Amino acid sequence: MSNRLAAGDTAPAFTLTSDTGEQVSLSDFAGRRVIVYFYPAAMTPGCTKQACDFTDSLDSLKAAGYEVVGISPDKPEKLAKFRERDGLTITLLSDPTKETLTAYGAFGEKKLYGKVVEGVIRSTVVVDPEGKVEVAQYNVKATGHVAKLRRDLALD
């Protein structure tokens, strides 16, 4: 089973490669709030919807003091195509070893079409300015998730 995070936990540190080839670390966001969301695969319908929703909401999230980082097992080259194809403005990070996904409880057993499989669990973790988990949500829906998260964070 995955080791799910809960409010108050220290967010696991990470350094991953972005779609532009840069190294991005959780510590880069120290002193700010960051929404770290995990998704199964770039350029699939649900993941595209979710990434576009975060992109559409990015200005207002930034105005409220939040950064947004999306993490998947996709290679940086695929993430670059995803950004280009869909005009994404959020930070996209590659975790091909699934180390960060696992550390955040976003990789493990899940039900897919009634079968138990191992894979990425669509999840969102909000990290506070001190690096602690503020909100941890697992098995979120791609559609409507950003709107729900905004309500949960009292932004709407």
* Active site (catalytic) residues: 47
Buried b (16+ CB within 10 A) or exposed e, 69-82: bbbbbbebebbbeb
- Euclidean distance between CA atoms 61 and 139, whole angstroms: 22
- Euclidean distance between CA atoms 104 and 115, whole angstroms: 23
- Euclidean distance between CA atoms 88 and 56, whole angstroms: 9
Taking alpha carbons only, the member of 80, 36, 73, 27 closest to residue 54 is 36
- Euclidean distance between CA atoms 156 and 62, whole angstroms: 14
